[in-house]
Amino acid sequence: MAFLSDALGRIKPSATIAVTDKARALKAAGVDVIGLGAGEPDFDTPENIKEAAVKAIRDGKTKYTAVDGIPELKQAIAMKFKRENHVDYTPSEISVGAGGKQVLYNALMATLNPGDEVIIPAPYWVSYPDMVALAGGTPVPLAATMEAGFKIAPAALEQAITPKTKWLIFNSPSNPSGAAYTRAEIRALADVLLKHPQVWVMTDDMYEHLVYDDFVFSTLVEVEPALKERTLTVNGVSKAYAMTGWRIGYAGGPTALIKAMATIQSQSTSNPSSISQWAAVEALTGPQDFIPKHAEIFRKRRDLVVSMLNQAAGIVCPSPQGAFYVYPSCKGAIGKTTPHGKRLATDDDFVTALLEEEGVAVVQGSAFGLGPFFRVSYATATELLEDACRRIQRFCGNLR
Ligand SMILES: Cc1ncc(COP(=O)(O)O)c(C=O)c1O
């Protein structure tokens, strides 16, 4: 009898965490490595949020809480949905978990049966297909192209839908491409969804606040309220408030789904950290002025990285609307050989050789379901980004 479960055989470890760990290990061994693999802001959590957590500890808010969130946080989330997305969710329509990741996982575990299909536009966040597979469903990648700005067309969505489709996972701005859908583009996808009442939508709005050049973020339920009854609107404090380590994510959705998600959470992790929940209340209700300031810093870094990568031989780097990633094509480097004699047959070879020969850690596009590309996270100090891009230019310039 096998010791390890069949479920484990359906998934693999997160490629982005693997690259980050590898870069960290090389650095610890004294190698000069610049890590552009991690998906987290390099900013510190704002002081007012830290203070709220300290106060929560001092006030003894250190016990178990309601499974899917304290009432104060649910209220703050309801106000956030109203204020920023013009959508009404009551506290009973809100779920809080240990990160957006747990919220998405709960929803998939609570709804998927064998044979259920989940449409996932590619390039996608690495965890979506594995979470779907772990929950027993079938991931159905739907490839977008660089030429289409890494966005899916309504006709392609229509074609991908079958009677077995249970969910569409929709992520804008996107990790890994940074692509963000305009209101009109969301409207066109909503029109397709309205024709298929069996399809539910998980919109992952984690990068909502990181959009540039006057781009206006929209979420599906705001654009088409009729889809509210079959949409889970997922968000969190990790990226916007530089709170990745605090582990707080949340979602708004129909009460029956929210209850089912709480049942899954009650038998796995129970409530998210009480202290982090109080910190998240302060994040959502306190001053918001640092958010556009952070976004402006990210925009400048995006412009720098896009410009420098487009000067690297064989690299084509589109300028995305949001998040803190770019997703350049390395097609022009494929088939070439490095000065150390390594032939680059895939984007996997490209990122491995780049790390070994120039000490720059990025993630291969194949991990996100669309190659030959690679993902660069520019949530890193500007000087490091400049250095890393110079190294990428040198690496590409030396390929023969
Ligand atoms: C698209 C997307 N969704 C969800 C998450 C999960 O965020 P967290 O679990 O930190 O809230 C991430 C984190 O990288 C992400 O990139």
21 vs 40: CA distance, rounded Å = 14
pLDDT surpassing 90 at residue 19: no
pLDDT surpassing 90 at residue 287: yes
Q: Looking at the CA of residue 174, tell me the nearest atom of ligand 1.
A: 1
What are the pLDDT digits (tens) for 44-55?
999 999 999 999
| Ligand 1 site-directed mutation target among 40, 125, 132, most atoms within 8 Å of CB | 125
pLDDT of residue 3: 95
pLDDT of residue 16: 78
| Ligand 1 site-directed mutation target among 181, 239, 277, 324, most atoms within 8 Å of CB | 239
Q: How far is CA 317 from CA 80, 146, 302, 313, in A?
A: 34, 9, 11, 11
Cα(36) to centroid(ligand 1), Å: 16
When pLDDT is cut at 50, 70 and 90, the band that residue 15 belongs to is confident
How many Cβ atoms are within 10 Å of 319's Cβ, its own excluded? Answer: 15
Nearest CA to ligand 1 atom 13: 39
Cα(341) to centroid(ligand 1), Å: 37
| Cβ–Cβ under 8 Å, residues 54 and 61 | no
**Percent of the chain at pLDDT exceeding 70:** 100
pLDDT of residue 20: 81
Q: Looking at the CA of residue 104, tell me the nearest atom of ligand 1.
A: 4
pLDDT of residue 24: 86
pLDDT of residue 258: 98
Angle 365-370-376 from CA coordinates, rounded to 5°: 30
pTM of the model: 0.96
Cα(234) to centroid(ligand 1), Å: 10
pLDDT of residue 339: 93
Q: Looking at the CA of residue 103, tell me the nearest atom of ligand 1.
A: 9
Please give the full DSSP string across 13-40, using - where no structure is assigned: --HHHHHHHHHHHHHHTT---EE----S
What are the pLDDT digits (tens) for 170-227?
999 999 999 999 999 999 999 999 999 999 999 999 999 999 999 999 999 999 999 9
Nearest CA to ligand 1 atom 14: 39
Q: Looking at the CA of residue 236, tell me the nearest atom of ligand 1.
A: 11
What are the pLDDT digits (tens) for 361-392?
999 999 999 999 999 999 999 999 999 999 99
pLDDT surpassing 90 at residue 77: yes
Q: Look at residues 75, 72, 95, 71 and name the one whose alpha carbon lies nearest to residue 262.
A: 95
Q: Looking at the CA of residue 39, tell me the nearest atom of ligand 1.
A: 14
Q: Looking at the CA of residue 16, tell me the nearest atom of ligand 1.
A: 14
Burial 206-220 (b: 16+ CB within 10 A, else e): bbbbbbbeeeebbbb
pLDDT of residue 233: 98
| Ligand 1 site-directed mutation target among 238, 244, 277, most atoms within 8 Å of CB | 238
| Cβ–Cβ under 8 Å, residues 178 and 211 | no
pLDDT of residue 114: 96
Tell me what the mean pLDDT of segment 8-20 comes to: 83
Cα(207) to centroid(ligand 1), Å: 9
Structure tokens of 254?
A: 């129909």
Cα(101) to centroid(ligand 1), Å: 6
When pLDDT is cut at 50, 70 and 90, the band that residue 38 belongs to is confident
When pLDDT is cut at 50, 70 and 90, the band that residue 5 belongs to is very high
What are the pLDDT digits (tens) for 87-136?
999 999 999 999 999 999 999 999 999 999 999 999 999 999 999 999 99
Beta strands, E only, the chain = 34-35, 94-97, 117-122, 138-143, 165-171, 200-204, 231-236, 249-252, 325-326, 360-361, 363-364, 374-377
Tell me what the mean pLDDT of segment 278-287 comes to: 98
The burial class, CB within 10 Å (0-12 / 13-18 / 19+), for 296 is: exposed
Cα(134) to centroid(ligand 1), Å: 17
| Cβ–Cβ under 8 Å, residues 333 and 353 | no
pLDDT surpassing 90 at residue 329: yes
286 vs 279: CA distance, rounded Å = 10
Residues with CB under 6 A from ligand 1: 39, 99-101, 125, 171, 175, 204, 206, 236, 238, 244, 249
- Which of 4-18, 37-51, 53-67, 239-253 is least confident? 4-18
Q: Looking at the CA of residue 40, tell me the nearest atom of ligand 1.
A: 14
Taking all residues of the chain, what is their mean pLDDT, rounded to a whole number? 96
pLDDT of residue 228: 98
